[in-house]
Structure 1
Amino acid sequence: MHKLPLKIPGLNKFIDHTFLSPLATAADIKRLCEEAIEYGFYAVCVPPYFVPKAHQALHDHAVKVATVIGYPYGYSETSIKVAEARRSLDEGADELDIVINISAVKSGDWNYVRTEIEQMATTVRLKGKVCKLILEISVMTDEELERLVELCNKVRPNYVKTSSGTQGGATVEQIRYLRANLDSEIRIKASGGIRTRTAAAELLEAGADRIGTSSGLTIIQ
Structure 2
Amino acid sequence: MTINLSVEQLAEKIDHTLLKADAQEAGFEKLCQEAREYGFKMVAINSAPVTLCKKLLKGSPVHVGAAIGFPLGQTTIKTKAFETKEAIENGADEIDYVINISKLKDGDTNYIEEEMQTIVDICKNNDVLSKVILETCYLEDEEKKQVCKIAKKVRPNFVKTSTGFGVAGATVADVQLMKQTVGDQVKVKAAGGIRDLEAVKAMIEAGADRLGMSASVKVIEEYRAERAETR
Matched, 1:177 2:177: yes
Matched, 1:138 2:137: yes
**In 1, are the aligned partners of 2:144 and 2:178 still within 8 Å (CA)?**
no
Amino acid at match of 2:187: R
Matched, 1:60 2:40: no
Corresponding pairs, count: 218
Q: Secondary structure at the match of 2:64?
A: strand
Amino acid at match of 1:21: K
State the alpha-carbon separation in 1 of the partners of residues 185 and 109 from structure 2: 24
Find the counterpart in structure 2 of residue 74 from structure 1: 73
State the alpha-carbon separation in 2 of the partners of residues 81 and 54 from structure 1: 21
TM-score by length of 2: 0.91
Alignment of 1:118-133 (within 5 A): 118-133=117-132
Give the CA deviation at 1:176.
1.2
Find the counterpart in structure 1 of residue 220 from structure 2: 220
Find the counterpart in structure 1 of residue 155 from structure 2: 156
**In 1, are the aligned partners of 2:145 and 2:177 still within 8 Å (CA)?**
no
Find the counterpart in structure 1 of residue 35 from structure 2: 36
State the alpha-carbon separation in 2 of the partners of residues 171 and 30 from structure 1: 30
Which shows bigger deviation, 54-63 or 138-147? 138-147
**In 1, are the aligned partners of 2:35 and 2:43 still within 8 Å (CA)?**
yes
Which shows bigger deviation, 109-118 or 209-218? 109-118
State the alpha-carbon separation in 2 of the partners of residues 15 and 209 from structure 1: 9
**In 2, are the aligned partners of 1:100 and 1:113 still within 8 Å (CA)?**
yes
Give the CA deviation at 1:8.
5.3
State the alpha-carbon separation in 1 of the partners of residues 141 and 209 from structure 2: 23
State the alpha-carbon separation in 2 of the partners of residues 193 and 13 from structure 1: 19
Amino acid at match of 1:214: S
Q: CA RMSD in A?
A: 1.3
Q: Which runs of 5+ in 1 are unaligned?
A: none
User: CA-to-partner distance for each residue in 1:82-107, whole Å, 9 max, x for gaps?
Assistant: 00000000000000001000111112
Give the CA deviation at 1:183.
3.3
Q: Which runs of 5+ in 2 are unaligned?
A: 222-231
State the alpha-carbon separation in 2 of the partners of residues 202 and 105 from structure 1: 28
State the alpha-carbon separation in 1 of the partners of residues 171 and 143 from structure 2: 18
> Relative contact order (alpha carbons < 8 A, sep ≥ 6): 1 or 2 greater?
1
Find the counterpart in structure 1 of residue 105 from structure 2: 106
Give the CA deviation at 1:155.
0.5
State the alpha-carbon separation in 2 of the partners of residues 45 and 142 from structure 1: 27
State the alpha-carbon separation in 1 of the partners of residues 79 and 68 from structure 2: 10
- Identity, % of aligned pairs? 37
Find the counterpart in structure 1 of residue 7 from structure 2: 9
Q: Secondary structure at the match of 2:49?
A: helix
Give the CA deviation at 1:49.
0.8
Give the CA deviation at 1:113.
1.4
TM-score by length of 1: 0.95
State the alpha-carbon separation in 2 of the partners of residues 174 and 141 from structure 1: 10
Amino acid at match of 1:67: A
Amino acid at match of 1:17: H
Give runs of ≥4 in structure 1 deviating > 4 Å.
none
Which shows bigger deviation, 55-64 or 104-113? 104-113
